[in-house]
Amino acid sequence: MKFIVSSAPLLKQLQLISGVLNSSNALPILDNFLFNINEGNLTISASDLEITMSTQVQIESKEKGKVAIPAKLLIDTLKTFPDHPLTFSINKDNFGVEILSDYGKYKLSGFNGEEFPKTPAIEQSSTVEINAKVLLNAINKTLFAAGNDELRPVMSGVFCELSAENITFVATDAHKLVRYRRNDSKSDKTASFILPSKPLTILRSNLGGKDSMVKVEYNQSNAFFTFDNVNLICRLIEGKYPNYEAVIPKKNPNILTIDRSLFLNSVRRVSIFANKTTHQVRLKINGSELNISAEDLDFSNEASERLTCQYEGDAMEIGFNSRFLIEMLNNMDSNSINIEMSAPNRAGILVPASEERKQEEDILMLVMPVMLN
């Protein structure tokens, strides 16, 4: 079995799907790429049983067949070539692979492609189409807030809610929560499912710069993403997502409006002096003055800064974990933000300042307070 392929496009497609590969796999066959040769078309797949990703490359061949080729060895070899044609010869008896280039000959042991896990078929599925930029934005805005507690698997992914009005993405780890809603994306069917973090991380690295539509098919157990010539199928997280709306306080009479980057830089500086366990920073708001302070009593470290702000409400002192605040502020785009609060022991809500809110996008970030010592 023989085919000729250009080295640069092949490497590009392999790198595209290599994020699926694990460093340690239960099945040795998963350390390989599956090459499915079908005359002038080569379909390459990678899988870790939970996620399968495939892509296609044009080749010169008149044959059909399957072979599994060691992934790391192949990528490391291709990285050393300039772009030029490579001839792959596969021995159908022992699946030995020989690669011929302008420079020489390379042999490696392949495996029977039939041993590679079959890609699950999407049956009884529903479909929704989302613009690649919208999906990328949704992943960027929510993924950082997802949990990683193995005892609470439902919170380790991003919850997607589809409706005729909008599409909502939610992530939480019980300390922070992000709700990102798109009013310009809709679905004919009402549905909800939880997407795991790993496939979303892979999608994030592949959607950058694309403006095409991503077709999302889903059923009870799997979601299937198709864009350009890439397919990604992943198993959904089973279980019921917590009622996130119940966590978001509705009445927050104390509203602080402040320049996002000024506040972010101030929290960054002050947090260096915070306790290394709690990462606590203290916000003291009175009139148009915001005082940000932190201290680490074990090492006698302390810092405080004063910023001018707009504030409506009663004078207040509240503590937050600086790491959560920094993550949230980093993932907001608006120049000014509102921090809405009700009491020092209730969650604070971060939203773009009212004049900067976009019609098509509704973002809300919630952070739990830290008890002031």
> What pLDDT, in 10s, does the model give residues 314-354?
999 999 999 999 999 999 999 999 999 999 999 999 999 98
Any idea of the CA torsion for 255, 316, 284, 277, to the nearest 10 degrees? -100
Residue 121 lies in a domain: no
Rounded Cα–Cα distance for residues 302 and 313 (Å): 28
Residue 120 lies in a domain: no
End residue of a domain, out of 242, 265, 281: 242
Shared domain check, 286 and 234:
no
Shared domain check, 365 and 253:
yes
Shared domain check, 364 and 272:
yes
- The whole-chain average pLDDT of the chain stands at 94
* Average pLDDT of the residues in 193-205: 96
* Average pLDDT of the residues in 270-276: 96
Residue 348 lies in a domain: yes
Residue 21 lies in a domain: yes
* Average pLDDT of the residues in 43-48: 96
Q: pLDDT band for 150, please (50, 70, 90 cuts).
A: confident
Rounded Cα–Cα distance for residues 359 and 155 (Å): 28
CB atoms within 10 A of CB 187: 20
Residues spanned by the domain of 33: 2-115
Shared domain check, 280 and 227:
no
pLDDT at residue 373 is higher than 80: no
Please say whether the beta carbons of 298 and 274 come within 8 A. no
Residue 333 lies in a domain: yes
Rounded Cα–Cα distance for residues 148 and 151 (Å): 9
End residue of a domain, out of 83, 115, 147: 115
* Domains identified in the chain, total number: 3
Shared domain check, 25 and 11:
yes
pTM comes to 0.91
DSSP lists the bridge partners of residue 306 as 291
What pLDDT is attached to residue 39?
Answer: 85
Residue 122 lies in a domain: no
Shared domain check, 110 and 153:
no
Shared domain check, 69 and 98:
yes
Shared domain check, 274 and 206:
no
Rounded Cα–Cα distance for residues 99 and 86 (Å): 7
User: What CA–CA distances, in Å, run from 68 to 81, 111, 287?
Assistant: 21, 5, 67
pLDDT tens for 119-138 read: 888 888 899 999 999 999 99
Give the domain CATH number at 259. 3.10.150.10
Residue 97 lies in a domain: yes
Tokens standing for residue 326: 């920094």
The phi and psi torsions of 194 (rounded to 5 degrees) equal -110, 120
End residue of a domain, out of 200, 222, 242: 242
Shared domain check, 262 and 225:
no
Shared domain check, 79 and 16:
yes
Rounded Cα–Cα distance for residues 337 and 276 (Å): 27
Shared domain check, 273 and 216:
no
Shared domain check, 158 and 100:
no
Residue 83 lies in a domain: yes
